[in-house]
Amino acid sequence: MVRPARPPERGLAAAWPSRSLASAREWIRTRSHERLLLVGTLKATIALCLLCILAFSTSFARLNPYPVTLNGAFLVVVGGYPGGTTGRCFQALLLGTAGLGVGCLVYAILGELADSPTGQGFVFAIWVYLAALVRFGGPKYISFYLYGVLFSFNGIYGTVEQGYFDRRFFLANFEAYAWGIAIALGVNVLVWPMTSESELRRLLVTSLQHVATLAHLTCKTYARELDRDELDVRQVLVKELRSDYLALSARLEETSYEVVLSSWSLHGYAQMIRAVQGLQQALITASSAMDLISQLDPEGVNSRHLLAEAETTRTFADFRHGIDLVIAEIVDELVGAKGVPVEHDPALDQDSAEAPSDRQGGSVGEPQGPTPAADADERLGHALHTTPTPSAAQEKVLTVAARLKREVQESEERQRRLRGRNSSSRSASASRPGTPRSTPASGTATPTGWAGASVEELEAHLSRARKSSSSRTRTEAEQPLPGEEAVPEKNPARTTDPEKATAPADRQGAVPARAGVVDIFRKAWDAFARAQQTALVSLIKDGALEVDDVLRIESGMPSIKEQYAHRLPKAWTSSLIAQTPLARLRSRGDTLSNVGAGGAGDDDNDDDDDDAADEVPCSEALTKSYSLLFGLGQLTEELATLHDIVVARQPHRRVRFFIVQMVVDSVRQLFRPRDGMKLQEALAVLHGKEYKPEEKSRLSYLVRAERWFWGQRSLYALKVAMGATIYTLFALAPTLQTHVFLPFGQVSALITVIVAIAPTLGGTLSTWLLQISGTGAGALVGLVVLEIFRNVGGYDYNPFGIVALGSLWFAFSSYKFLRYPAKYTQSLLYVTGFGGICLQEFVYNDTPGETRRFDSPGLRFGYTIASLAISMGISAAFQLLIFRQPARHRLRIQLAEVMFALSAYNSLLQAYVNLVAPADEAPVPPQDALAQVQRDLIKREGKVQSMILALAPTFEFAKVEPKWWAPFQGELLLRIIRSQQIILDRLREARTAVGLRGFNETVHRDFANVLFPYRLHSQRLARTLFYLGATSLLAKTQLARDVPSSKPTWASFERDALVLSRRMSKLPRGEEELKRPGFLRYWFYLVSLGSVSSELEELEKHLGDVRRPRRVQPVHIIDLSPLRPLSSRRLPCRVDVVGALARSNPCCPPSSLRIFSTFCRSV
């Protein structure tokens, strides 16, 4: 049935882009996550079956002088990701080939040292140490690690078995690895190729869907239209944003190894990801501001005041519509505009309904389906923004997205009817010159456009938009659009590209309506921002906030009771004390307005006063509205930037050699000249001091080398090298060689040693389970298959049956590997365990020229399990007895490192702010020095963010470790991690608010200079809390501390800023100054740093609740618990510790006890 054409549309809805419906249908037909998973499983199964067929073929086996060496090709095929994207396959194989090249060199050296077993052991240990250092860099180096180490070990095995360096055996091993690389690469490229570039575009579309949905939910929260389900979805999407960024970064790295036909270069995709990251950070800022506003103003009084005007409501709705329009055009290009044949991009196979569920925050980067998670795992994901969304939350996201789509459709229909009535009213009143034109007021329904909608719904909407666009006339297109009517002609909309405003709309084949979408969006935002600023200034000016015109910075210090009011125990607030005459006196916090209001004594107006009091705006919540505006402004700018990158530049589709571009960029980065100024030099220049480079002695380099050697990376590599060396003793020691190594065939068991020794004990425990199940199950299935097809069809072991049943096992292993990338080791051992036992039995029993007496399958299975036990015993000895590194200990060290990094960042940021916004009339600092400090701050942000994300695997490993003496406090640690993430976000926002040039002159003169003492006081408190928190984690014990709270300081800070704002508003040009961007950024800076101080105090409470084992029994001399701070309630007091030491150490001299007591008292 043909749908009737929709009537012509005007306004924002009319600017919806159109695209090729054939391309859209192809996108819908071929995009499915399950299809992607099944295709990948099929490709991996084909590659493994092809290897088995070739190995079982007599003609192929004769090409290799030692056919049994083809056993190593199973490892190569699995490690080459034949079922993944081409970028992932190229990345793994290139790194694996590099490892194989170094392994060949080491193999040759080991062969030449055949007469010196001791020399072989030393050379092999050094190589394993170096390879483990590379492996510590991340999961992507696993192929380099395994290919290089396992191939080089064949050099020892060959000399042991042959007695000399056999070059034919070397070539046989190399040929086996080369065939594995060729099979993995050929199947990946020739059988249903899936490009990382197309998968990257799909992830960009999914991320933009999350951005659009969260943006609308944030707007609904501001308008107080959010229900409980939508609130839950908003919290889920905040977590998904950072997960999307991690997935995009991993996919971009894989894309850099490809050669594809694409419209954008590698730099273009990098710019897109940076823009998406900016969108995500802007939404995190806006969402955090909304959380603060909701806490301070749960009734939504401020929102009702700020959205009371009809003009504000209309511009707010236009702004929300504009988000959909701009994102829709971006998606239009990414999905496949210009008739891109998407049937060759099955890596995009994922329905939009499953978009939130296939994100894995780890570094593996493969798609992962929805997995059930425990409550602690979900909270960890919420803290780190890396955990995949559970299925229940996904369903709720889809339900809310569908509801939002219905709301936007209803809103569009309602606005269309209103425009129709207004148009008829204008035409009827054209003959009456004195009739004023009415202004339509849109409703408050939430428009979301395509955000969260399925691709089928997107196709239908685009079809309707295309029909309506084709039916528009030129006259209708020239009429003003919503958002343009509210913008005066003297304030044209800003554009990112200056040439865009003057370029013709239909340049390069673009749709005329498309060129103005960003302009419409910017004008809608400008109109809404002006309306909000006007409402904010009005509330500040008319005295509705009931803030006295008195600066607290000029008042006396608060009383001791007020300083410690938040720390008072409940016993101090009992009724007996509360009824004393002193307690009934008016406190310093009472304002004059409150005292005057209480003196009226009119009982008749009590109810009216109560009702009026309910509608009094909250000053604290009002200040947080500036953060919301700043976040939405960032969203506007980043969205316009992304639109300019994707749409406005109109890139040409051609062959892109991403891998060549990556190599060129790497070389340029290596030989790029260093920055002209170091951080220390920049700080010296900014402070007006002469910079003297620090002279480093040779001893300092030795100290740095020693510290690096005892670091986690070097210790891990050292343990792996020592474990591999012990393993080689079974091959080099004559007795062990004769009775254990050669009979057991321990060549393949080396993988167990080098994989089982993990950086932490928890990682080893997790790996043991995967290795036992992987090797055991693989060898067991191989044993069963061999027994089934023994003496069948004229073969000792029928190869056709082995391949037939083996294909099912390969399919299961490949599916599990692609579905759960974290179980890489288990899936790898599934294949190698099965392939090793089957190939050896077939070669030595059915291959002509290679037949000989060999172990039965049952005995070979027993040898495999015995070799596994020996390897695990070696790894257990090194993990439990030598350089033991528990995951709990490592997690505590990492948390302390994050706190020290945040402390250093905060100190540098404070120095930067004091230079950009000084308290006196200081000369303008050099811009190049400021730019260097800003670049260093940005680098530190990325480093701290990576440190926080690195806590996730350590946390998971810590959970599986045995709990001998104390339970694992996962809940508390999650709160600490979440606090650290929030602190980093707020510090980043403060740096963004300040910028390179600080605030405008009025803010510097009338606000920053006057309130500078507040800044100094808060900076000192923040530095103290940062240092004490980091030291508490690092010292493994609570430090006695009672730092005054910074909440009263920041409350007075914001209150005095409001007082100054009210005074400014009464000046002739005061309102214009308060509406300038510098004033908005100043308030955003205050709110961000105030949130940092509040979060630091919450972090102090969390650290105080950390329970640690008490190794000494406290001697309770006096109960001082009411006087102790929250952070030290669970610790024995200083006197208790000294008494316990005296009792437990009778021989301890009194002088030592006095020194220890003095130290505790000083702390």
Closest CA to 184 of 368, 348, 46, 70: 46
Instruction: State the pLDDT at residue 175.
Output: 94
Task: Give whichever of 335-339, 362-366, 1028-1032 has the largest mean pLDDT.
Answer: 1028-1032
Sorted by sequence, the CB contacts under 8 Å of residue 716 that are 6+ apart come out as: 132, 136, 757, 758, 759, 885
- Kindly list the domain boundaries of the chain, sorted by start residue: 25-84+86-193+710-880, 194-421+440-538+632-648, 887-1109, 1113-1163
Task: Give whichever of 50-64, 285-299, 477-491, 1081-1095 has the largest mean pLDDT.
Answer: 50-64
Residue 1082 has pLDDT above 80, yes or no: yes
Instruction: State the pLDDT at residue 769.
Output: 86
Instruction: State the pLDDT at residue 359.
Output: 32
Residue 327 has pLDDT above 80, yes or no: yes
532-536: long-range contacts at Cβ-Cβ below 8 A with a sequence spacing of 24 or more? Answer: 532/306, 532/312, 532/625, 532/629, 533/629, 533/1074, 533/1075, 533/1080, 534/1075, 535/305, 535/306, 535/308, 535/309, 535/312, 536/306, 536/622, 536/625, 536/626, 536/1074
Instruction: State the pLDDT at residue 406.
Output: 62
Instruction: State the pLDDT at residue 972.
Output: 86
Instruction: State the pLDDT at residue 1054.
Output: 82
Q: Which of 197-211, 661-675, 1137-1151 comes out lowest in average pLDDT?
A: 1137-1151
Instruction: State the pLDDT at residue 180.
Output: 94
Scanning the structure block, which residue is given the tokens 């811009």? 927
Over residues 529-541, the mean pLDDT reads 82
Residue 739 has pLDDT above 90, yes or no: no
Who has greater pLDDT, 65 or 378?
65
Over residues 221-225, the mean pLDDT reads 83
CA distance 241 to 356: 10
Look at residue 566 and give its three-state secondary structure.
helix
Instruction: State the pLDDT at residue 275.
Output: 92
Instruction: State the pLDDT at residue 1042.
Output: 64
Q: Which of 96-100, 143-147, 155-159, 412-416 comes out lowest in average pLDDT?
A: 412-416
Task: Give whichever of 208-212, 576-580, 710-714, 780-784 has the largest mean pLDDT.
Answer: 780-784
Instruction: State the pLDDT at residue 732.
Output: 86
Who has greater pLDDT, 294 or 106?
106
Instruction: State the pLDDT at residue 1040.
Output: 58
User: Nearest 5°: phi and psi at 844?
Assistant: -85, -5
Residue 535 has pLDDT above 60, yes or no: yes
Who has greater pLDDT, 402 or 1133?
402
In eight-state DSSP terms, residue 364 is S
Tell me the DSSP string of 873-938. HHHHHHHHTSS---HHHHHHHHHHHHHHHHHHHHHHHHHHHHHHS-SS-PPPPPHHHHHHHHHHHH
Residue 321 has pLDDT above 80, yes or no: yes
Going by pLDDT thresholds of 50, 70 and 90, the confidence category of residue 78 is: very high
Instruction: State the pLDDT at residue 563.
Output: 63
Per cent of the chain over pLDDT 90 is 20
Over residues 143-156, the mean pLDDT reads 93
Over residues 205-230, the mean pLDDT reads 85
Instruction: State the pLDDT at residue 815.
Output: 93
User: Nearest 5°: phi and psi at 523?
Assistant: -65, -40
User: Nearest 5°: phi and psi at 689?
Assistant: -115, 155
Question: Dihedral of CA 347/176/813/371: which sign?
Answer: negative
Instruction: State the pLDDT at residue 547.
Output: 65
Angle (CA) 307 312 314, round 5°: 115
Scanning the structure block, which residue is given the tokens 């290009």? 333
> Tens digit of pLDDT for each residue in 22-31?
343 344 334 4
> Tens digit of pLDDT for each residue in 287-319?
888 888 887 777 777 777 777 777 778 888 888
> Tens digit of pLDDT for each residue in 1126-1141?
333 333 333 343 344 3
Who has greater pLDDT, 1024 or 48?
48
In contact, 71 and 835? CB cutoff 8 Å:
yes
CA distance 1109 to 1106: 10
Closest CA to 545 of 954, 914, 1061, 1079: 1061
Going by pLDDT thresholds of 50, 70 and 90, the confidence category of residue 130 is: very high
> Tens digit of pLDDT for each residue in 765-813?
888 888 888 999 999 999 999 999 998 888 889 999 999 999 999 999 9
Instruction: State the pLDDT at residue 403.
Output: 62
Whole-number Cα distances in Å, 572 to 558, 578, 589, 1131 = 19, 9, 19, 22
User: If you count DSSP H runs as helices and E runs as strands, how many of each does the chain have, helices first?
Assistant: 46, 4
Whole-number Cα distances in Å, 250 to 23, 136, 200 = 27, 17, 9
Over residues 92-116, the mean pLDDT reads 93
Look at residue 794 and give its three-state secondary structure.
coil
Going by pLDDT thresholds of 50, 70 and 90, the confidence category of residue 102 is: very high
> Tens digit of pLDDT for each residue in 480-494?
333 333 333 333 334
Residue 188 has pLDDT above 50, yes or no: yes
Going by pLDDT thresholds of 50, 70 and 90, the confidence category of residue 1107 is: low
Instruction: Please give the class, per CATH, of domain 887-1109.
Output: mainly alpha
Who has greater pLDDT, 428 or 322?
322
Please return the burial class of 338, using the count of CB atoms within 10 Å of its CB with bins 0-12, 13-18 and 19+: middle
How remote is the C-alpha of 390 from its chain's centroid? 17
Instruction: State the pLDDT at residue 313.
Output: 82
> Tens digit of pLDDT for each residue in 1022-1081?
888 888 888 888 877 666 556 667 777 888 888 888 888 888 888 888 788 888 888 888
Instruction: State the pLDDT at residue 399.
Output: 62
> Tens digit of pLDDT for each residue in 546-573?
666 777 777 766 666 666 665 555 444 4
User: Nearest 5°: phi and psi at 911?
Assistant: -65, -40
Instruction: State the pLDDT at residue 396.
Output: 59
Residue 579 has pLDDT above 90, yes or no: no
> Tens digit of pLDDT for each residue in 832-842?
999 989 998 99
Residue 266 has pLDDT above 50, yes or no: yes
Who has greater pLDDT, 322 or 245?
322
> Tens digit of pLDDT for each residue in 854-909?
888 899 899 889 988 888 888 888 888 888 888 888 998 999 999 999 999 999 99
Residue 995 has pLDDT above 70, yes or no: yes
Going by pLDDT thresholds of 50, 70 and 90, the confidence category of residue 719 is: very high
Q: Which of 320-329, 401-410, 951-960 comes out lowest in average pLDDT?
A: 401-410
Who has greater pLDDT, 987 or 970?
987
Instruction: State the pLDDT at residue 94.
Output: 94
CA distance 1130 to 1107: 7
Over residues 748-765, the mean pLDDT reads 87
Q: Which of 323-337, 714-728, 901-915 comes out lowest in average pLDDT?
A: 323-337
Residue 186 has pLDDT above 90, yes or no: yes
Over residues 498-523, the mean pLDDT reads 53
Per cent of the chain over pLDDT 70 is 69
In contact, 326 and 517? CB cutoff 8 Å:
yes
Residue 710 has pLDDT above 50, yes or no: yes
Mean pLDDT, the chain, rounded, equals: 74
Question: Dihedral of CA 498/499/505/510: which sign?
Answer: negative
Over residues 362-367, the mean pLDDT reads 33
Going by pLDDT thresholds of 50, 70 and 90, the confidence category of residue 416 is: low
